[in-house]
Amino acid sequence: MINMLSGNEETVNTFKAAVGKEISEMEIKDNELIIGFTDGKKIKIFDNGQSCCESRYMSTDDDLKYYVGAKLTGGELADGPEATGEYGECHEQQFLKIETSKGVFTIVNHNEHNGYYGGFSVEVRGIQ
């Protein structure tokens, strides 16, 4: 479950409340995955771990529009590869796998930093 390791109760409860709902819209906007549901509610999933001297962003190769009409069934985080550059700079990746009734899609959280900072803190919040 998303952010279960850090014990963020609000994140866990918000995500659990969305499970079983039908997806009406979805997009990555301002480094947040926004998921709207047919009941009018929306959630955003984002990496809230920003520290000094980092560049954080999200990407996906999946067609998010394909999953509109599906039911949200679950989600998980998995660590991805880490690359270290010639001068100690790091590029970390963490995979956000969202499970739906139409299958799974993957969002990649990226964190590029100077080698001192790092890690992720993926959170889920309800939005208006």
Domain boundaries, the chain: 9-127
What pLDDT is stored for residue 3 in this prediction?
A: 44
What pLDDT is stored for residue 4 in this prediction?
A: 44
What pLDDT is stored for residue 112 in this prediction?
A: 87
Q: Are the CB atoms for 43 and 91 separated by under 8 Å?
A: no
What pLDDT is stored for residue 12 in this prediction?
A: 87
Please write the tens of the pLDDT for every residue from 25-61: 999 999 999 999 999 999 999 988 777 777 889 999 9
d(Cα 15, Cα 106) in Å, to the nearest integer?
A: 16
d(Cα 40, Cα 110) in Å, to the nearest integer?
A: 30
d(Cα 29, Cα 89) in Å, to the nearest integer?
A: 26
- Which two tokens mark 25? 């819209």
Q: How many residues does the chain have?
A: 128
Q: Is the pLDDT of residue 20 over 60?
A: yes
Question: Between 89 and 101, where is the model more confident?
Answer: 101
What pLDDT is stored for residue 33 in this prediction?
A: 97
What pLDDT is stored for residue 16 in this prediction?
A: 92
**Model confidence, pTM:** 0.88
Please write the tens of the pLDDT for every residue from 96-113: 999 999 999 999 999 988
